[in-house]
Structure 1
């Protein structure tokens, strides 16, 4: 049977970065083949599972009826069903950035040599779910919508003219967009005849019309049901119905999965080998890492972490292998390179840092503070900085994010070894998001964006062009780190027209990252692929297209 499968990728549009969905990143749909399993209890020739409603689960709590694909906090985004209704021009793989992108709504695309123009050839024969043909004008309309709506253009892409000719769309830019290629590929396309009179930042779009394989049938707080799109250009679907259900936290979703209520869950499962794999031989897990990292974002504008010496000491005392084992049962590998790059990004490590890795040492961490003039080092709740101020740290992550909550407790205990007073808070997501966006925190664990280069890791962490004073909402660089050198190198990297120039710029960026410790990278970012072949088999036919809900 056919089923939606998710290829993880960055790009797309985000109304808010901080959301417990796949890297804050967008995903791209792929359609592949599954086979329905027969039931040992069934009698007769017809499989009892043929009409099984495939159910996806997420741990983000109650939702409101909003199917706007542009808004990162809408139900369609949080629960993931926007990827079943809307489609993108090109598919690309965030798990393996070296993999060649795949044609989707566009059959062909071509960039000019300096990446200031891209031409897309739009697939013929595609219809919107209301029966209206997809046109190049719909694609142009979508990108003009992004261009003319600053709230949607969170990557600040400098669009120029956007034109059509037959089934070709030409998008011009006022500067090099090498680093934003995937933002073009991964943009959801919407129908002009539906959206032309709507405000894309506010409209709840409760009767969505897309080109994707499924259409919205019913929406309720108990679950969202989609049925096969009769107009789908990719052919008839053999899974007639899919369902999306939200749970309050990781624990409740895991329980639903082990009891057979959910077939595919994007969730961290503590002790997954025992709690998930051992429960049923049909249960599977696959946790590939993306080119991003899990980072302790530090507030570099105020408090203890505003001192580079304290940041260095904390980075030195953290036992990353312990975080991996105790926080994720080894599912998320520790970051080892000083550059913060995961294994998938090792080819981007500059020659100056090849083979240079984090070495955890409590004594070395304490020595850093002592040399910097701190007193009370290593004595419980007695640490004072060089000016005589007591050192206290407030660490925060949302309640229910059990993996991050456990990791934050471990980090807190390690910081306490230095003598600092530490509190760990787990507020609601909305409260936490407001704290972090406005700089009202000391430290928070979160993942960086990912991509086909390390650009997004470093952009998120230290691009001064996104700097906002404390109390104002920052879209990136939540720690308020300031480095003109890193910012200039990031800008040059994005504008470079040769690999040699990009290599040079990346070396500068990595040096600032290592020397000034704008954030503290700790773990690789896995994609939590938990699924069961209890009702459908064939998930493993292409591990890159493993079914994952975001």
Structure 2
């Protein structure tokens, strides 16, 4: 571990955001996107979505005892803008009687979660700091912990006895590194580690079943993994080929190929039917089931016929393609191999092209691939970011090359839709997924959070999903909410 507590750095150590520095607010994406207050206790949109009022918690204090004020919030947004770190369309930030008022250059409804995740820093410390080079080795934040010690293998955070919000129940939190998943599995079983997430194979048997009373697993389904076909290459530009492929896949078998229970099949809109059911029409919620007869009918409309167990095109050649994935990821290789074997069952010569991570990224950037199974698209507080990253012609992560005016128009409408109109505004994008299949939804990726209750109870779980048990990466609100909710066993 390299000491870096700059909350604006991509190399900031875990715990910097959430334990030391706090964000404005967040939404509980592990449940039903409930509002989670932090430094801001309330937000109110102006009609049209080009302005918002934030009510700040007037109890908030920096670790030196001084008050965190609207001036610090205004400074932070100005600092981010000055250093080109602000991805939000913020125009001005001004003080109000109970907080701040932000105006935007365009309707910003869809950016509400990104706005909430803004990390607030003290003006008196950060004036003059360079966000690109300063590692901030003596951080002063408003969060429940202060920095302890950092070594090459761990970083320790110590509870503040003067935290402004409440008494901090866990006196010390230590983030540790580990060399491999086998060692981590042993540390978890011995309860040397209380919380972790990693791709431990057969995690239920390797961890949970070792001590079912105290060892727990909660996969939080936060992103969707599609099979992505290169639409700039034939025959993937043909929608009937894409539909035939979609009907050939046994999604349950794919998700069970390496670590049963960590992935789940996903419905054809790409939105996870478990947490997004209110957004999806009932007839479109369930994952597509494999149907070889229907698949062959779709392939036939694209000119492919089954001959001797092979899918042969008008040119007399078998439909053949490679699926690109990262060779170093054992779980990803297993899922992709299962996917390829299912496509082979309908007569496609599908093989896995496992390559190093750098080669994977390079081929993806150059669009030098037939198909990809490896990328995942994260769900947000509404489907805009999810669909925009996947389907917009302006998105760098739209690697399949989908370019469709109707999609761009629907994205534009959803981006500016008020919260109460977002469900209806998402319907055209869902229909594009259902009828055009720009990507083929396969599974939802569960982050496998593993925790034990020997030392602490009150962890978030499937039964009590009050937050995602993330120890602090993007959302410090998730981390702080969890640690402040624990109780000694």
Q: TM-score, normalised by structure 2?
A: 0.84
User: Out of 503, 512, 523, which is 2:432 matched to?
Assistant: 512
Distance of 1:392 and 1:311 partners within structure 2: 13
Distance of 2:286 and 2:37 partners within structure 1: 39
Name the residue aligned to 2:372. Answer: 443
Name the residue aligned to 1:372. Answer: 302
Name the residue aligned to 1:21. Answer: none
SS class of match (1:481): coil
Distance of 2:296 and 2:17 partners within structure 1: 49
- Contact residue 395 and residue 424 of structure 1 kept, 8 A: yes
* 1:100-119 equivalences in 2 (<5 Å): 101-119=35-53
Distance of 2:76 and 2:442 partners within structure 1: 38
Name the residue aligned to 1:496. Answer: 417
Name the residue aligned to 1:14. Answer: none
- The answer on 1:70 being equivalent to 2:8 is yes
SS class of match (1:270): coil
Give the deviation of 1:311 after TM superposition. Answer: 2.8
Give the deviation of 1:171 after TM superposition. Answer: 0.8
Distance of 1:419 and 1:147 partners within structure 2: 51
Name the residue aligned to 2:407. Answer: 486
Residues 498 and 216 of structure 1: is their aligned pair in 2 closer, same or farther, counting only changes over 3 Å?
closer
User: Out of 71, 76, 79, which is 1:142 matched to?
Assistant: 76
* 1:462-473 equivalences in 2 (<5 Å): 462-466=391-395
* Count of residues in correspondence between the two structures: 467
- The answer on 1:262 being equivalent to 2:262 is no
Once structures 1 and 2 are overlaid, which stretch shifts more, 257-266 or 81-90? 81-90
Distance of 2:137 and 2:360 partners within structure 1: 28
- The answer on 1:245 being equivalent to 2:176 is yes
Name the residue aligned to 1:410. Answer: 338
Residues 523 and 390 of structure 1: is their aligned pair in 2 closer, same or farther, counting only changes over 3 Å?
closer
User: Out of 211, 214, 235, which is 1:282 matched to?
Assistant: 214
* 1:357-436 equivalences in 2 (<5 Å): 357-374=287-304, 391-397=320-326, 399-400=328-329, 402-417=330-345, 418-428=347-357, 431-436=359-364
Question: Alignment RMSD, CA only?
Answer: 3.2
Distance of 1:114 and 1:228 partners within structure 2: 42
SS class of match (1:422): strand
- Contact residue 301 and residue 480 of structure 1 kept, 8 A: yes
Residues 94 and 356 of structure 1: is their aligned pair in 2 closer, same or farther, counting only changes over 3 Å?
closer
Residues 270 and 218 of structure 1: is their aligned pair in 2 closer, same or farther, counting only changes over 3 Å?
same
Distance of 1:208 and 1:385 partners within structure 2: 66
SS class of match (2:256): helix
SS class of match (1:369): helix
Give the deviation of 1:319 after TM superposition. Answer: 0.6
SS class of match (1:327): coil
Give the deviation of 1:227 after TM superposition. Answer: 1.6
Q: Deviations over 1:90-142 (max 9, x none)?
A: 2420012353x133212332211222111122222423234443221221222
- The answer on 1:544 being equivalent to 2:474 is no
Q: Which 5+ residue runs of structure 2 have no aligned equivalent?
A: 473-489
Name the residue aligned to 2:101. Answer: 170
Give the deviation of 1:275 after TM superposition. Answer: 1.3
Give the deviation of 1:483 after TM superposition. Answer: 1.3
Q: Which 5+ residue runs of structure 1 have no aligned equivalent?
A: 1-62, 467-473
Distance of 1:158 and 1:465 partners within structure 2: 17
Residues 387 and 449 of structure 1: is their aligned pair in 2 closer, same or farther, counting only changes over 3 Å?
farther
Name the residue aligned to 1:122. Answer: 56
Residues 436 and 203 of structure 1: is their aligned pair in 2 closer, same or farther, counting only changes over 3 Å?
farther
Residues 145 and 298 of structure 1: is their aligned pair in 2 closer, same or farther, counting only changes over 3 Å?
farther
Residues 164 and 264 of structure 1: is their aligned pair in 2 closer, same or farther, counting only changes over 3 Å?
same
Give the deviation of 1:301 after TM superposition. Answer: 3.5
- Contact residue 384 and residue 391 of structure 1 kept, 8 A: no
Distance of 1:83 and 1:385 partners within structure 2: 59
Distance of 2:125 and 2:315 partners within structure 1: 61
Distance of 1:436 and 1:421 partners within structure 2: 18
Residues 439 and 339 of structure 1: is their aligned pair in 2 closer, same or farther, counting only changes over 3 Å?
same
Residues 87 and 322 of structure 1: is their aligned pair in 2 closer, same or farther, counting only changes over 3 Å?
same
Distance of 2:385 and 2:307 partners within structure 1: 36
User: Out of 20, 23, 39, which is 1:88 matched to?
Assistant: 23
SS class of match (1:333): strand
Name the residue aligned to 1:11. Answer: none
